[in-house]
Amino acid sequence: MEYLTDDMITSTIRLSLIVLLSGLIGIEREMKNHPAGLRTHILVGVGSCLLMLVSLFGFESYISTHSEYVRYDPSRIPSYVISGIGFLGAGTILVHRGITVKGLTTAASIWIVAGLGLVVGIGMYFEAILTTIIIISTLFFLNKLEEYYKGKSKNKNLILITLFVKKQNDILTFINDKIKAKGFEITQLNIEEQDNQDTEKFSIVVKPIKNEDPFFLVEELKNLQFVNKAKLKSYNSE
Alpha carbon distance 155, 215 (integer Å): 17
Residue 75: pLDDT band (50, 70, 90) is: confident
| Percent residues over pLDDT 70 in the chain | 80
CATH of domain 155-234: 3.30.70.260
Residue 46: pLDDT band (50, 70, 90) is: very high
Q: Can you give the residue ranges of every domain in the chain?
A: 6-151, 155-234
Instruction: Kindly report the backbone phi and psi dihedral angles of residue 74, in degrees, each rounded to the nearest multiple of 5, phi listed first.
Output: -70, -5
- Please report, in angstroms and rounded to a whole number, the separation of the first and last CA atoms in the chain: 56
Do residues 45 and 113 make contact, with C-beta atoms less than 8 angstroms apart? yes
Alpha carbon distance 151, 185 (integer Å): 18
Alpha carbon distance 210, 194 (integer Å): 33
Alpha carbon distance 41, 219 (integer Å): 45
Do residues 202 and 96 make contact, with C-beta atoms less than 8 angstroms apart? no
Residue 135 predicted with pLDDT over 80: yes
Share the mean pLDDT of the chain.
80
Residue 212: per-residue pLDDT: 72
What's the chain's length in residues?
A: 238
Higher pLDDT, residue 238 or 162: 162
Question: Is 155 in a helix, a strand, or coil?
Answer: helix
Higher pLDDT, residue 155 or 53: 53
Higher pLDDT, residue 104 or 150: 104
